[in-house]
């Protein structure tokens, strides 16, 4: 005969398939001789049978439940349905995988008009007993009988009004007794049947409700979205209730086996005498630190101490435990892996490895790479933050914190920063023209745009705090002010941004600098020893490059040359080039830009001595370098010495319906080869200069937006002939590579044609996601929220690589390219700093990932974890 029900001492942690996670863990604690309120688990197999047989299960199941219930009564010395010393139980679902919100818990099951008397006797607290009773009816009515919570709420509100009570606490025992009566009427009315008094009937109904919930809409959707397959169903846990509020010999508490904030190896927690578990969390009474329990209940504390040590040693991780002391007797209600800060996670992992509790691989897997973000940026002071006034909430687009005076134009930011002001640049949205201003500001706040808008991407690259798409603010640029949350903020008033949470605060809020600990360095060292993927950074300046090196980058995977086109005097030379009527005119203007490019590259090569530097040739469409607003057009025309009409004509000739799919990247190089020739020349001249000064430049010249092998053939010839001429003239050895960015589906499917002509490929997954999915980052805002709600995207495809779509094109590309010849393949999109995507990059055999300098440590750890996960 099949075993349908397991008493807690019959199972263990290895039986999660059959007992679910919760049941297996309770069994495990029981088998460790840790005092757990007794109980039993109905297996997931019963759920499977139930759902496949029109909601019925064999008669033996209930026989077994009653048999185990008898044992439970005996173990607890209480009787189910007894009016003197009643056994009450909790009923909880529990599948192999945790599915939050699938079904709520039913507590205090077993209460009725008779047993409540027993509870009063045992607790000597009539109000508590009736409060438990009315809560049980509500919970049971809602969860088991499907009556909406609001019906109970209405009754309660009315009784409170009659009594003139504002809170539930204003009701006494007799009021609550009336609530119980009224609640029963609610049940009868809405369920069409009276509230079941019989505790066994209650139990049977609760068990069936748990099984039904497995096929409920919410649970089915959850499993689909999270791709949870192959489970039999949920188990049902029936456990004796214990009470920490049975007087001064009772207590309840929560604790962590180590400090979850700092990671220090010291027992940490809180407790309350004569209280229920909820009271510790609710904040009505102030709990005592756990150390005080040693004085108040030395026996129980001693027992607790030995248990927490046993649990940590057993589970080999910091545990978050809940306990209840009922009349001097200690019970463990839960143990689970404790949540912790990034600081704590690192310290605990490193120290546990040193203690020999876990091995190094386990230590590496214990830290969530995304958490490292916290460590590497400024943070708002925890206390100061609580008191500050939030005036708006946007997207946490680039982590960190920033305090500054408000300015509305990049120019003003630049000018005032030179005078020593600390500034926050506030814009409706940013464009490449704003880069200098963004650089000059402490942080950036935009009213429009998503996590991958221009402001967000550039800010992350700069390691600068940014709150994007804050629709709460209304900017009046002309009036030099914005309003937010009913407050008007004028230019030069102070605000504070929290880029990790997306909050905008009024005034100056105290900020803490990031601190990097020795534990962090140790963990990174371990990660570096383990990982196979190289990690590079995306960096456009010598300064960014220095940050990248500091965080452990092994090269630069993407230098965006267009950012250099915007700075200072150059922009006018760029505009002159765009306005030129022939090649000679363009060459003249380009000759003015070249010296700037050369010195930019020399700076980067010197910092990145002997490390590869991938430099992408001009990428954006030319109209991005021209002004948009009438006033600017007139002014700039004057500066350039052309008529406003001429500038207008050029702007309108360059106008694009879909700039993302327009005249950009290598298409510029094909039509105006002199632009790419100048850039190639600047790169090689800079490399020659760097090499002459004793450094070793390793430029990798990258051709963007390639769709067709002929584009590469033509531009490669152009670059090679330029480079070889300059190298021959100089007599200095320079080794350089020519490669391409893979950012269009056609480049992926024709990678075998492209491969013979390149020495490296680097995935530009931002654009590849846009073209593969057919939507632009800038425009997706109109529907992406709905898409996430509808479960169309599991994850935002601009944050985590869409494995089935974009990822499968990447795999195809690598197969085709490496089928022709071995070559270096990397990734330089935003995804390069996303742990999930890094894991995918490892799986498909990339050589490196490249991300913003501040995400380099994240990528290093994620790359190490990818190795460990692949070896599992």
Q: Shortest gap between Cβ of 636 and a second copy (angstroms)?
A: 22
User: Between 448 and 860, whose beta carbon lies closer to a second copy?
Assistant: 448
User: Between 508 and 708, whose beta carbon lies closer to a second copy?
Assistant: 708
Residue 512 as a binder of a second copy (CB under 8 A): the answer is no
Q: Shortest gap between Cβ of 674 and a second copy (angstroms)?
A: 14
The CA radius of gyration of the chain, in Å to the nearest whole number, is: 33
In the set 166, 278, 774, 822, which binds a second copy (CB under 8 A)? 774
In the set 492, 773, 823, 867, which binds a second copy (CB under 8 A)? 773
Selected range binding a second copy among 140-148, 209-217, 538-546, 656-664, rule: CB under 8 A: 656-664
Q: Shortest gap between Cβ of 677 and a second copy (angstroms)?
A: 15
Residue 657 as a binder of a second copy (CB under 8 A): the answer is yes
Q: Are 93 and 210 in contact (CB under 8 A)?
A: yes
User: Between 595 and 791, whose beta carbon lies closer to a second copy?
Assistant: 791
Cβ-proximal residues to 318 (8 Å cutoff; 6+ apart), any chain: 256, 257, 258, 260, 312, 337, 338, 340, 344, 348
Selected range binding a second copy among 128-136, 503-511, 683-691, 707-715, rule: CB under 8 A: 707-715
In the set 373, 650, 772, 865, which binds a second copy (CB under 8 A)? 772
Residue 707 as a binder of a second copy (CB under 8 A): the answer is yes
Residue 779 as a binder of a second copy (CB under 8 A): the answer is yes
Q: Are 748 and 809 in contact (CB under 8 A)?
A: yes
As separate numbers, helices (DSSP H) first and strands (DSSP E) second, the chain gives 36, 33
In the set 416, 608, 806, 851, which binds a second copy (CB under 8 A)? 806
In the set 191, 640, 670, 788, which binds a second copy (CB under 8 A)? 670
Q: Shortest gap between Cβ of 212 and a second copy (angstroms)?
A: 23
Residue 744 as a binder of a second copy (CB under 8 A): the answer is yes
Cβ-proximal residues to 815 (8 Å cutoff; 6+ apart), any chain: none
Compute CA 100 distance to the chain's CA centroid, rounded to the nearest angstrom: 18
Residue 565 as a binder of a second copy (CB under 8 A): the answer is no
User: Between 229 and 872, whose beta carbon lies closer to a second copy?
Assistant: 229
Selected range binding a second copy among 295-303, 379-387, 632-640, 776-784, rule: CB under 8 A: 776-784
Task: Give the length of the chain.
Answer: 872
Look up residue 806 and give its DSSP letter: I
- Decide: helix, strand or coil at residue 269: strand
In the set 750, 800, 837, 865, which binds a second copy (CB under 8 A)? 750
Residue 800 as a binder of a second copy (CB under 8 A): the answer is no
Residue 428 as a binder of a second copy (CB under 8 A): the answer is no
The upper half-sphere exposure of residue 53, i.e. CA atoms within 13 Å in the direction of its Cβ, equals: 11
Q: Shortest gap between Cβ of 781 and a second copy (angstroms)?
A: 9
In the set 398, 770, 800, 852, which binds a second copy (CB under 8 A)? 770
Residue 697 as a binder of a second copy (CB under 8 A): the answer is no
Residue 215 as a binder of a second copy (CB under 8 A): the answer is no
Set 666, 828, 841, 851: catalytic member = 828
Residue 793 as a binder of a second copy (CB under 8 A): the answer is yes
Q: Shortest gap between Cβ of 485 and a second copy (angstroms)?
A: 21
User: Between 9 and 429, whose beta carbon lies closer to a second copy?
Assistant: 429
User: Between 248 and 785, whose beta carbon lies closer to a second copy?
Assistant: 785
**86-87 and 89-94: which strand pairing?**
unpaired
Q: How far apart are CA 716 and CA 712, in angstroms?
A: 6
Sheet holding 487-490, edge to edge: 473-476, 481-484, 487-490
User: Between 48 and 778, whose beta carbon lies closer to a second copy?
Assistant: 778
Q: How far apart are CA 150 and CA 630, in angstroms?
A: 58
The structure tokens listed for 221 are: 């959707």
In the set 351, 711, 830, 839, which binds a second copy (CB under 8 A)? 711
Query: Which of 23, 36, 30, 46 minimizes the C-alpha distance to 96?
Result: 23
User: Between 591 and 792, whose beta carbon lies closer to a second copy?
Assistant: 792
User: SS3 string of 38-64?
Assistant: CEEEECHHHHHHHHHCCCCCCHHHHHH
Q: How far apart are CA 118 and CA 772, in angstroms?
A: 67
Set 343, 377, 454, 563: catalytic member = 454
Residue 503 as a binder of a second copy (CB under 8 A): the answer is no
The structure tokens listed for 622 are: 């030319």
The upper half-sphere exposure of residue 265, i.e. CA atoms within 13 Å in the direction of its Cβ, equals: 14
In the set 328, 501, 662, 847, which binds a second copy (CB under 8 A)? 662
In the set 380, 504, 705, 863, which binds a second copy (CB under 8 A)? 705
Per-residue CA distances from 750 to 278, 737, 742, 756 (Å) = 61, 21, 11, 11
Residue 753 as a binder of a second copy (CB under 8 A): the answer is yes
Residue 650 as a binder of a second copy (CB under 8 A): the answer is no
Q: Are 640 and 580 in contact (CB under 8 A)?
A: no
410-440 in b/e form (b: 16+ CB < 10 A) is bebbbebbeeebebbbbbeebebbbbbbbbb
Q: How far apart are CA 620 and CA 56, in angstroms?
A: 65
Residue 166 as a binder of a second copy (CB under 8 A): the answer is no
Q: How far apart are CA 231 and CA 229, in angstroms?
A: 6
Q: Are 496 and 502 in contact (CB under 8 A)?
A: no
Selected range binding a second copy among 74-82, 416-424, 583-591, 775-783, rule: CB under 8 A: 775-783
Q: How far apart are CA 347 and CA 359, in angstroms?
A: 14
The angle formed by the CA atoms of residues 33, 35 and 37, to the nearest 5 degrees, is: 130
Q: How far apart are CA 610 and CA 782, in angstroms?
A: 46
828 is catalytic: yes
Q: Shortest gap between Cβ of 621 and a second copy (angstroms)?
A: 9
Residue 767 as a binder of a second copy (CB under 8 A): the answer is yes
User: Between 372 and 801, whose beta carbon lies closer to a second copy?
Assistant: 801
813 is catalytic: no
Residue 671 as a binder of a second copy (CB under 8 A): the answer is yes
DSSP letters for 154-166:
HHHHHHHHHHT-S
In the set 20, 260, 450, 745, which binds a second copy (CB under 8 A)? 745
User: Between 556 and 668, whose beta carbon lies closer to a second copy?
Assistant: 668
Cβ-proximal residues to 121 (8 Å cutoff; 6+ apart), any chain: 84, 85
Q: Are 44 and 50 in contact (CB under 8 A)?
A: no
Residue 791 as a binder of a second copy (CB under 8 A): the answer is yes
In the set 658, 694, 871, 872, which binds a second copy (CB under 8 A)? 658
CA dihedral of residues 457, 463, 465, 468 (deg, nearest 10): 0
Residue 771 as a binder of a second copy (CB under 8 A): the answer is yes
Count of residues of this chain found to bind a second copy when the rule CB under 8 A is applied:
50
User: Between 124 and 224, whose beta carbon lies closer to a second copy?
Assistant: 224
Q: How far apart are CA 577 and CA 237, in angstroms?
A: 74
Residue 506 as a binder of a second copy (CB under 8 A): the answer is no
Q: Where are the alpha helices (DSSP H) in 271-376?
A: 277-282, 291-296, 298-315, 342-355, 360-365, 372-376
Residue 315 as a binder of a second copy (CB under 8 A): the answer is no
Selected range binding a second copy among 174-182, 188-196, 643-651, 802-810, rule: CB under 8 A: 802-810
Q: Shortest gap between Cβ of 136 and a second copy (angstroms)?
A: 39
Query: Which of 99, 59, 61, 41 minimizes the C-alpha distance to 231?
Result: 99
User: Between 295 and 804, whose beta carbon lies closer to a second copy?
Assistant: 804
Q: Is 264 exposed, middle or buried (0-12, 13-18, 19+ CB in 10 A)?
A: middle
Residue ranges in contact with a second copy by CB under 8 A = 654, 656-663, 667, 670-671, 705, 707-708, 710-711, 714, 743-746, 749-750, 753, 767, 770-776, 778-779, 782-783, 786-787, 790-793, 802, 804-806, 808-809, 812
Residues labelled as active-site residues: 454, 828
């Amino acid at each position: 005969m099949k075993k349908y029900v397991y008493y807690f001492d019959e199972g263990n942690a290895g039986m999660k398939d059959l007992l679910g996670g919760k049941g297996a863990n309770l069994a495990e604690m029981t088998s460790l001789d840790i005092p757990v309120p007794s109980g039993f688990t109905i297996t997931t197999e019963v759920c499977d049978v139930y759902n496949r047989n029109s909601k019925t299960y064999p008669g033996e199941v209930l026989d077994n439940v009653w048999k185990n219930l008898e044992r439970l009564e005996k173990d607890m010395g209480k009787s189910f349905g007894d009016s003197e010393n009643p056994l009450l139980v909790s009923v909880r679902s529990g599948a192999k995988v945790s599915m939050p919100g699938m079904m709520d818990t039913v507590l205090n099951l077993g209460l009725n008009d008779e047993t409540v008397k027993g509870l009063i006797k045992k607790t000597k607290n009539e109000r508590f007993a009736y409060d438990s009773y009315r809560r049980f009816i509500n919970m049971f009515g809602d969860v088991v009988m499907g009556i909406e919570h609001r019906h109970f709420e209405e009754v309660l509100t009315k009784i409170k009004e009659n009594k003139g009570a504002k809170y539930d606490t204003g009701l006494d025992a007799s009021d609550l007794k009336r609530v119980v009566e009224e609640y029963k009427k609610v049940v009868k009315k809405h369920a069409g049947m009276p509230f079941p008094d019989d505790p066994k009937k209650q139990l049977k109904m609760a068990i069936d409700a748990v099984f039904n919930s497995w096929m409920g809409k919410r649970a089915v959707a959850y499993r689909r979205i999270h791709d949870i397959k192959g489970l039999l169903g949920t188990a049902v846990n029936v456990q004796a209730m214990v009470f920490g509020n049975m007087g001064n010999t009772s207590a309840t508490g929560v604790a962590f086996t180590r400090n979850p904030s700092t990671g220090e190896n010291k027992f940490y927690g809180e407790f309350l005498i004569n209280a229920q578990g909820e009271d510790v969390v609710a904040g009505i009474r102030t709990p005592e630190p756990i150390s005080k329990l040693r004085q108040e209940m030395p026996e129980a504390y001693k027992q607790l101490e030995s248990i927490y040590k046993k649990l940590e040693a057993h589970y080999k991780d910091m545990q978050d435990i809940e306990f209840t002391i009922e009349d001097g007797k200690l019970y463990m209600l839960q143990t689970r892996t404790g949540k912790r800060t990034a600081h704590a996670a690192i310290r605990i992992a490193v120290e546990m490895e040193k203690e020999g509790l876990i091995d190094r691989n386990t230590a590496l897997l214990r830290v969530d790479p995304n958490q490292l973000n916290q460590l590497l940026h400024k943070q708002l002071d925890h206390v100061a933050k609580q008191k500050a006034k939030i005036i708006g909430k946007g997207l946490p687009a680039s982590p960190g914190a920033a305090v500054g005076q408000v300015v509305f134009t990049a120019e003003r930011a630049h000018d005032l920063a030179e005078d020593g002001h600390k500034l926050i640049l506030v814009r409706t949205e940013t464009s490449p023209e704003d880069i200098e201003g963004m650089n000059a500001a402490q942080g950036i706040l935009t009213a429009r745009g998503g996590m991958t808008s221009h402001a967000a991407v550039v800010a992350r690259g700069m390691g600068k705090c940014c709150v994007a798409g804050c629709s709460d603010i209304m900017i009046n640029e002309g009036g030099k002010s914005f309003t937010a949350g009913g407050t008007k903020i004028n230019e030069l008033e102070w605000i504070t941004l929290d880029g990790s949470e997306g909050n905008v605060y009024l005034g100056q809020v105290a900020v803490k600098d990031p601190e990097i600990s020795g534990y962090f360095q140790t963990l990174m060292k371990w990660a570096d020893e383990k990982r196979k993927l190289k990690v590079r950074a995306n960096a456009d300046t010598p300064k960014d490059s220095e940050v990248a090196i500091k965080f452990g980058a092994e090269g630069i995977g993407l230098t965006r040359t267009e950012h250099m086109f915007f700075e200072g005097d150059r922009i006018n030379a760029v505009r002159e080039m765009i306005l030129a009527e022939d090649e000679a005119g363009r060459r003249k203007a380009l000759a003015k830009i070249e010296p700037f490019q050369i010195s930019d590259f020399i700076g980067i090569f010197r910092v990145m001595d002997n490390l590869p530097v991938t430099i992408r040739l001009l990428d954006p469409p030319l109209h991005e370098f021209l002004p948009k607003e009438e006033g600017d057009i007139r002014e700039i025309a004057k500066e350039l010495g052309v008529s406003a009409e001429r500038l207008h004509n050029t702007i309108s000739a360059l106008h694009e319906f879909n700039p993302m799919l327009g005249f950009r990247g290598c298409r510029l190089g094909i039509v105006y080869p002199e632009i790419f020739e100048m850039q190639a020349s600047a790169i090689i001249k800079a490399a020659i200069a760097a090499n002459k000064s004793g450094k070793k430049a390793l430029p990798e010249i990258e051709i963007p937006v390639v769709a067709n092998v002929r584009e590469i053939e033509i531009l490669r010839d152009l670059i090679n002939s330029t480079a070889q001429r300059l190298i021959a003239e100089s007599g200095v050895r320079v080794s350089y590579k020519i490669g391409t960015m893979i950012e269009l589906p056609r480049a992926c499917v024709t990678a075998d044609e492209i491969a013979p002509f390149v020495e490296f490929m680097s995935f530009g997954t931002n654009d590849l996601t846009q073209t593969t999915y057919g939507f632009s980052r800038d425009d997706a805002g109109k529907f992406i929220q709905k898409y996430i709600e509808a479960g169309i995207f599991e994850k935002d495809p601009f944050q985590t690589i869409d494995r089935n779509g974009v990822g499968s094109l990447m795999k195809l590309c690598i197969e085709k390219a490496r089928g022709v010849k071995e070559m270096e393949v990397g990734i330089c999109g935003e995804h390069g700093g996303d742990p999930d995507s890094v894991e995918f990059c490892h799986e498909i055999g990339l050589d490196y990932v490249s991300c913003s300098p501040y995400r380099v440590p994240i990528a290093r750890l994620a790359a190490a974890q990818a190795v460990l996960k692949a070896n599992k």
